[in-house]
Structure 1
Amino acid sequence: MLKIIPYQKCYAPDVSVLAHMAISQISDDIYTQQEKSAWSYAPRSSYHWHKRLLRSKSWLVVDEQRIESGRAFCCGFINLETHFKSRGYIDSLYVHPQYQQQGVAGRLYEVLAQWAVNNALPELFVDASKLSKPLFESQGFRLRHRSYQEKRGIVIMGYYMSKALAAVPQS
Protein backbone atom coordinates (compact mmCIF):
# COMPACT_ATOMS: atom_id res chain seq x y z
CA MET A 1 0.00 0.00 0.00
CA LEU A 2 1.42 3.36 -1.04
CA LYS A 3 1.13 6.23 1.39
CA ILE A 4 2.14 9.89 1.13
CA ILE A 5 3.87 11.26 4.21
CA PRO A 6 5.76 14.45 5.06
CA TYR A 7 9.52 14.18 4.60
CA GLN A 8 11.36 12.61 7.55
CA LYS A 9 15.12 12.73 8.16
CA CYS A 10 15.42 8.93 8.42
CA TYR A 11 14.59 8.76 4.69
CA ALA A 12 17.47 10.99 3.54
CA PRO A 13 19.71 8.03 2.55
CA ASP A 14 16.83 6.47 0.58
CA VAL A 15 16.08 9.76 -1.18
CA SER A 16 19.73 10.08 -2.18
CA VAL A 17 19.81 6.65 -3.82
CA LEU A 18 16.32 7.02 -5.32
CA ALA A 19 17.15 10.30 -7.09
CA HIS A 20 20.34 8.84 -8.56
CA MET A 21 18.59 5.66 -9.71
CA ALA A 22 15.71 7.60 -11.26
CA ILE A 23 18.14 9.70 -13.29
CA SER A 24 20.59 6.95 -14.24
CA GLN A 25 17.81 4.66 -15.50
CA ILE A 26 16.16 7.19 -17.82
CA SER A 27 16.10 5.81 -21.35
CA ASP A 28 19.04 6.84 -23.54
CA ASP A 29 16.42 7.96 -26.08
CA ILE A 30 15.39 10.74 -23.68
CA TYR A 31 18.74 11.80 -22.19
CA THR A 32 22.13 10.52 -23.33
CA GLN A 33 24.39 8.57 -20.99
CA GLN A 34 26.67 11.61 -20.90
CA GLU A 35 23.78 13.89 -19.85
CA LYS A 36 22.61 11.45 -17.17
CA SER A 37 26.14 11.07 -15.78
CA ALA A 38 26.53 14.85 -15.62
CA TRP A 39 23.14 15.21 -13.91
CA SER A 40 23.92 12.50 -11.34
CA TYR A 41 27.22 10.67 -11.60
CA ALA A 42 26.69 9.16 -8.09
CA PRO A 43 24.16 9.55 -5.28
CA ARG A 44 24.44 12.93 -3.54
CA SER A 45 25.04 12.76 0.19
CA SER A 46 22.22 12.12 2.61
CA TYR A 47 23.22 15.42 4.25
CA HIS A 48 22.67 17.27 0.95
CA TRP A 49 19.19 15.80 0.47
CA HIS A 50 18.20 16.26 4.10
CA LYS A 51 19.11 19.96 4.04
CA ARG A 52 17.45 20.45 0.64
CA LEU A 53 14.18 18.79 1.66
CA LEU A 54 14.17 20.28 5.15
CA ARG A 55 14.37 23.82 3.74
CA SER A 56 11.28 23.28 1.60
CA LYS A 57 7.85 21.66 1.87
CA SER A 58 8.50 18.01 1.02
CA TRP A 59 6.53 14.79 0.72
CA LEU A 60 7.49 11.14 0.25
CA VAL A 61 5.58 8.18 -1.11
CA VAL A 62 6.33 5.06 0.86
CA ASP A 63 5.35 1.46 0.16
CA GLU A 64 4.13 0.14 3.51
CA GLN A 65 4.20 -3.44 2.21
CA ARG A 66 7.90 -3.27 1.39
CA ILE A 67 10.04 -2.83 4.49
CA GLU A 68 13.74 -2.02 4.12
CA SER A 69 16.10 -0.77 6.84
CA GLY A 70 13.27 -1.15 9.34
CA ARG A 71 10.88 1.27 7.61
CA ALA A 72 8.52 1.50 4.67
CA PHE A 73 10.32 1.71 1.32
CA CYS A 74 10.59 5.22 -0.13
CA CYS A 75 9.49 5.07 -3.76
CA GLY A 76 9.12 8.77 -4.62
CA PHE A 77 9.43 12.34 -3.40
CA ILE A 78 8.58 15.91 -4.32
CA ASN A 79 9.46 19.25 -2.79
CA LEU A 80 8.27 22.83 -3.10
CA GLU A 81 10.26 25.95 -2.35
CA THR A 82 8.51 28.17 0.16
CA HIS A 83 11.05 31.01 0.51
CA PHE A 84 10.25 34.45 -0.84
CA LYS A 85 12.23 34.56 -4.11
CA SER A 86 11.57 30.95 -5.11
CA ARG A 87 8.14 30.53 -3.48
CA GLY A 88 6.07 28.10 -5.53
CA TYR A 89 9.01 26.49 -7.34
CA ILE A 90 8.84 22.69 -7.58
CA ASP A 91 12.46 21.81 -6.94
CA SER A 92 12.44 18.02 -7.24
CA LEU A 93 10.15 15.20 -8.32
CA TYR A 94 11.63 11.71 -8.51
CA VAL A 95 10.03 8.28 -8.61
CA HIS A 96 11.89 5.00 -8.13
CA PRO A 97 12.17 3.18 -11.50
CA GLN A 98 10.17 0.18 -10.20
CA TYR A 99 7.25 2.50 -9.35
CA GLN A 100 7.18 4.65 -12.49
CA GLN A 101 4.10 4.66 -14.74
CA GLN A 102 1.89 3.81 -11.73
CA GLY A 103 0.55 7.29 -10.90
CA VAL A 104 3.05 7.97 -8.11
CA ALA A 105 4.27 11.29 -9.56
CA GLY A 106 0.69 12.42 -10.13
CA ARG A 107 -0.28 11.61 -6.54
CA LEU A 108 2.73 13.51 -5.21
CA TYR A 109 1.88 16.50 -7.39
CA GLU A 110 -1.75 16.51 -6.20
CA VAL A 111 -0.66 16.72 -2.54
CA LEU A 112 1.76 19.53 -3.34
CA ALA A 113 -0.83 21.44 -5.40
CA GLN A 114 -3.46 21.16 -2.68
CA TRP A 115 -0.99 22.43 -0.10
CA ALA A 116 -0.06 25.34 -2.42
CA VAL A 117 -3.72 26.32 -2.93
CA ASN A 118 -4.46 26.04 0.80
CA ASN A 119 -1.47 28.29 1.51
CA ALA A 120 -2.51 30.89 -1.09
CA LEU A 121 0.37 30.47 -3.49
CA PRO A 122 -0.69 32.23 -6.68
CA GLU A 123 1.42 30.17 -9.07
CA LEU A 124 3.62 27.09 -9.36
CA PHE A 125 6.82 26.89 -11.42
CA VAL A 126 9.03 24.00 -12.48
CA ASP A 127 12.05 23.24 -14.64
CA ALA A 128 10.59 20.05 -16.05
CA SER A 129 12.77 17.39 -17.58
CA LYS A 130 11.93 15.82 -20.93
CA LEU A 131 10.56 12.91 -18.88
CA SER A 132 8.34 14.96 -16.54
CA LYS A 133 7.07 17.53 -19.06
CA PRO A 134 4.00 15.44 -20.06
CA LEU A 135 2.97 15.05 -16.41
CA PHE A 136 3.11 18.79 -15.81
CA GLU A 137 1.28 19.51 -19.08
CA SER A 138 -1.48 17.11 -17.99
CA GLN A 139 -1.79 19.12 -14.76
CA GLY A 140 -2.32 22.41 -16.64
CA PHE A 141 1.24 23.76 -16.70
CA ARG A 142 2.18 25.89 -19.69
CA LEU A 143 5.60 26.18 -21.26
CA ARG A 144 7.25 29.54 -20.66
CA HIS A 145 10.54 28.71 -22.37
CA ARG A 146 13.14 26.03 -22.72
CA SER A 147 15.64 25.93 -19.91
CA TYR A 148 19.26 24.91 -19.92
CA GLN A 149 21.33 23.80 -16.97
CA GLU A 150 25.04 23.17 -17.07
CA LYS A 151 26.16 20.27 -14.93
CA ARG A 152 29.76 19.08 -14.93
CA GLY A 153 30.37 20.86 -18.24
CA ILE A 154 27.35 19.32 -20.00
CA VAL A 155 24.30 21.39 -20.95
CA ILE A 156 21.02 19.61 -20.17
CA MET A 157 17.83 20.89 -21.77
CA GLY A 158 14.51 21.12 -19.95
CA TYR A 159 11.32 23.18 -19.90
CA TYR A 160 10.51 26.09 -17.61
CA MET A 161 6.77 25.81 -17.00
CA SER A 162 4.19 27.54 -14.82
CA LYS A 163 0.60 27.18 -13.68
CA ALA A 164 -1.64 29.78 -12.06
CA LEU A 165 -3.50 28.50 -9.01
CA ALA A 166 -7.05 29.31 -7.96
CA ALA A 167 -7.27 31.12 -4.68
CA VAL A 168 -9.07 29.45 -1.79
CA PRO A 169 -11.94 31.70 -0.65
CA GLN A 170 -11.34 33.10 2.82
CA SER A 171 -14.28 32.78 5.19
Structure 2
Amino acid sequence: MFITEFTPAMADQISQLYHQAIQQISHPRYNQSKKTAWSKAPRSKKYWQIRLRRNKTWVMINEHQQLIGFISVATDFTHQGYIEYLYVSPQYQQQGIASALLRTLQTWCQQQSFTQLSVDASYLSRPIFEKAGFTLCHPSYQRKLGQTLNGFLLTKPI
Protein backbone atom coordinates (compact mmCIF):
# COMPACT_ATOMS: atom_id res chain seq x y z
CA MET A 1 0.00 0.00 0.00
CA PHE A 2 1.14 3.53 -0.67
CA ILE A 3 -0.04 7.12 -0.36
CA THR A 4 -0.09 9.43 -3.37
CA GLU A 5 -1.66 12.72 -4.35
CA PHE A 6 -5.18 12.79 -5.74
CA THR A 7 -5.63 13.25 -9.48
CA PRO A 8 -8.96 14.09 -11.18
CA ALA A 9 -8.97 10.62 -12.77
CA MET A 10 -9.54 9.17 -9.27
CA ALA A 11 -12.84 11.01 -8.73
CA ASP A 12 -15.07 8.00 -9.54
CA GLN A 13 -13.25 5.86 -6.99
CA ILE A 14 -13.49 8.66 -4.39
CA SER A 15 -17.23 8.89 -5.00
CA GLN A 16 -17.79 5.16 -4.54
CA LEU A 17 -15.58 4.91 -1.47
CA TYR A 18 -17.21 7.91 0.22
CA HIS A 19 -20.72 6.56 -0.34
CA GLN A 20 -19.88 2.98 0.68
CA ALA A 21 -18.02 4.09 3.80
CA ILE A 22 -21.06 6.04 4.97
CA GLN A 23 -23.69 3.48 4.01
CA GLN A 24 -21.84 0.67 5.80
CA ILE A 25 -21.50 2.52 9.11
CA SER A 26 -22.61 0.39 12.02
CA HIS A 27 -23.03 2.75 14.94
CA PRO A 28 -26.07 3.49 17.14
CA ARG A 29 -25.81 7.24 16.42
CA TYR A 30 -26.25 6.70 12.67
CA ASN A 31 -29.50 5.08 11.60
CA GLN A 32 -30.36 4.57 7.94
CA SER A 33 -32.14 7.94 7.69
CA LYS A 34 -29.02 9.75 8.88
CA LYS A 35 -26.75 7.75 6.57
CA THR A 36 -29.04 8.50 3.62
CA ALA A 37 -29.02 12.21 4.48
CA TRP A 38 -25.22 12.09 4.68
CA SER A 39 -24.85 10.30 1.33
CA LYS A 40 -27.97 9.33 -0.60
CA ALA A 41 -26.05 8.02 -3.63
CA PRO A 42 -22.56 8.29 -5.12
CA ARG A 43 -21.98 11.75 -6.54
CA SER A 44 -20.71 12.44 -10.03
CA LYS A 45 -17.08 12.38 -11.06
CA LYS A 46 -17.38 16.07 -11.94
CA TYR A 47 -18.71 16.91 -8.45
CA TRP A 48 -15.61 15.41 -6.81
CA GLN A 49 -13.23 16.94 -9.34
CA ILE A 50 -14.64 20.39 -8.62
CA ARG A 51 -14.93 19.80 -4.87
CA LEU A 52 -11.33 18.64 -4.46
CA ARG A 53 -9.81 21.20 -6.85
CA ARG A 54 -9.47 23.77 -4.06
CA ASN A 55 -8.04 21.25 -1.58
CA LYS A 56 -4.90 19.24 -1.11
CA THR A 57 -5.90 15.57 -1.19
CA TRP A 58 -4.04 12.30 -0.72
CA VAL A 59 -5.22 8.77 -1.38
CA MET A 60 -4.12 5.36 -0.15
CA ILE A 61 -3.77 2.77 -2.90
CA ASN A 62 -3.65 -0.97 -2.19
CA GLU A 63 -1.60 -3.68 -3.88
CA HIS A 64 -4.34 -4.11 -6.54
CA GLN A 65 -4.15 -0.41 -7.47
CA GLN A 66 -7.52 0.27 -5.81
CA LEU A 67 -8.18 3.46 -3.88
CA ILE A 68 -8.90 2.42 -0.28
CA GLY A 69 -8.81 5.73 1.61
CA PHE A 70 -8.51 9.48 1.20
CA ILE A 71 -7.98 12.65 3.18
CA SER A 72 -8.43 16.24 2.05
CA VAL A 73 -7.60 19.61 3.58
CA ALA A 74 -8.82 23.04 2.52
CA THR A 75 -6.03 25.30 1.34
CA ASP A 76 -7.88 28.51 0.56
CA PHE A 77 -7.35 31.50 2.85
CA THR A 78 -10.66 31.42 4.73
CA HIS A 79 -10.64 27.68 5.49
CA GLN A 80 -6.92 26.93 5.45
CA GLY A 81 -6.16 23.83 7.49
CA TYR A 82 -9.73 22.56 7.69
CA ILE A 83 -9.88 18.80 7.12
CA GLU A 84 -12.92 18.22 4.94
CA TYR A 85 -12.66 14.49 4.32
CA LEU A 86 -11.11 11.42 5.91
CA TYR A 87 -12.66 8.18 4.69
CA VAL A 88 -11.44 4.59 4.48
CA SER A 89 -13.07 1.75 2.57
CA PRO A 90 -15.08 -0.41 5.01
CA GLN A 91 -13.02 -3.55 4.40
CA TYR A 92 -9.78 -1.67 5.20
CA GLN A 93 -10.85 0.11 8.39
CA GLN A 94 -9.06 -0.49 11.69
CA GLN A 95 -5.75 -1.07 9.88
CA GLY A 96 -4.04 2.28 10.48
CA ILE A 97 -4.89 3.74 7.08
CA ALA A 98 -6.70 6.80 8.45
CA SER A 99 -3.78 7.51 10.80
CA ALA A 100 -1.24 7.17 7.96
CA LEU A 101 -3.24 9.56 5.77
CA LEU A 102 -3.55 12.01 8.66
CA ARG A 103 0.23 11.93 9.28
CA THR A 104 0.84 12.70 5.59
CA LEU A 105 -1.56 15.64 5.72
CA GLN A 106 -0.02 17.00 8.94
CA THR A 107 3.51 16.82 7.53
CA TRP A 108 2.46 18.72 4.42
CA CYS A 109 0.60 21.35 6.47
CA GLN A 110 3.69 21.90 8.62
CA GLN A 111 5.77 22.39 5.47
CA GLN A 112 3.22 24.97 4.29
CA SER A 113 3.46 26.82 7.64
CA PHE A 114 -0.18 26.25 8.54
CA THR A 115 -0.61 27.18 12.19
CA GLN A 116 -3.63 25.01 12.99
CA LEU A 117 -5.71 22.12 11.74
CA SER A 118 -9.42 21.76 12.42
CA VAL A 119 -12.08 19.18 11.63
CA ASP A 120 -15.74 18.50 12.25
CA ALA A 121 -15.35 14.88 13.28
CA SER A 122 -18.06 12.26 13.47
CA TYR A 123 -18.56 9.93 16.42
CA LEU A 124 -16.51 7.39 14.45
CA SER A 125 -13.58 9.61 13.49
CA ARG A 126 -13.26 11.59 16.72
CA PRO A 127 -11.00 8.97 18.40
CA ILE A 128 -8.62 8.98 15.41
CA PHE A 129 -8.18 12.73 15.63
CA GLU A 130 -7.90 12.79 19.41
CA LYS A 131 -5.21 10.10 19.25
CA ALA A 132 -3.34 12.42 16.85
CA GLY A 133 -3.45 15.29 19.37
CA PHE A 134 -6.60 17.14 18.37
CA THR A 135 -8.69 18.60 21.20
CA LEU A 136 -12.41 19.23 21.43
CA CYS A 137 -13.60 22.81 20.97
CA HIS A 138 -17.34 22.12 21.02
CA PRO A 139 -20.03 19.84 19.62
CA SER A 140 -21.15 20.62 16.09
CA TYR A 141 -23.95 19.57 13.81
CA GLN A 142 -25.17 19.73 10.24
CA ARG A 143 -28.74 19.60 9.00
CA LYS A 144 -29.27 17.58 5.83
CA LEU A 145 -32.55 16.30 4.38
CA GLY A 146 -34.33 16.87 7.67
CA GLN A 147 -31.73 14.95 9.69
CA THR A 148 -29.31 16.31 12.27
CA LEU A 149 -25.82 14.88 11.96
CA ASN A 150 -23.98 15.48 15.22
CA GLY A 151 -20.23 15.85 15.37
CA PHE A 152 -17.38 17.55 17.16
CA LEU A 153 -15.21 20.50 16.18
CA LEU A 154 -11.64 19.54 17.02
CA THR A 155 -8.46 21.57 16.55
CA LYS A 156 -4.73 21.05 16.75
CA PRO A 157 -1.96 23.64 16.65
CA ILE A 158 0.90 22.71 14.32
TM-score (norm 1): 0.90
Mapped partners of 1:28, 1:140: distance in 2:
24
**TM-aligned CA deviation for residue 110 of structure 1:** 0.2
Residue 150 in structure 1 maps to residue 149 in structure 2: no
Larger Rg: 1
Cα deviation, 1:76-110, whole Å, max 9, x if unaligned, reads: 00000010110000000110001100000000000
Q: CA deviation at 1:28?
A: 4.0
In the alignment, what sits opposite 1:110? 103
Q: Pairwise mapping of residues 1-171 of structure 1 onto structure 2 (< 5 A)?
A: 2-63=1-62, 65-66=63-64, 72-165=65-158
**Distance in structure 1 (CA, Å) of the matches to 2:14 and 2:150:** 23
What's the offset of the Cα at 1:44? Answer: 1.2
Question: 1:4 Cα deviation (Å)?
Answer: 0.3
Aligned length: 158
Question: Is the CA contact 1:6–1:60 (under 8 Å) kept in the aligned structure 2?
Answer: yes
SS at match of 1:110: helix
Task: For 2:74 and 2:52, locate their aligned partners in 1 and report how far apart those are by CA, in whole Å.
Answer: 9
Unpaired segments ≥5 residues, structure 1: 67-71, 166-171
Please give the secondary structure, in 1, of the residue aligned with 2:66.
strand
User: Which region of structure 1 is more displaced relative to structure 2, 45-54 or 72-81?
Assistant: 45-54
In structure 2, stretches of 5+ residues that fail to align are none
- Who is 1:169 aligned against? none
Q: Post-superposition, which runs of at least 4 consecutive aligned residues in structure 1 deviate over 4 A? A: none
Deviates more, 1:7-16 or 1:28-37: 28-37
C-alpha separation in 2, matches of 1:110 and 1:151 = 30
CA deviation after TM superposition for structure 1 residue 74, in Å: 0.3
SS of alignment partner, residue 51 of structure 2: helix
Q: TM-score, normalised by structure 2?
A: 0.98
Q: CA deviation at 1:32?
A: 1.1
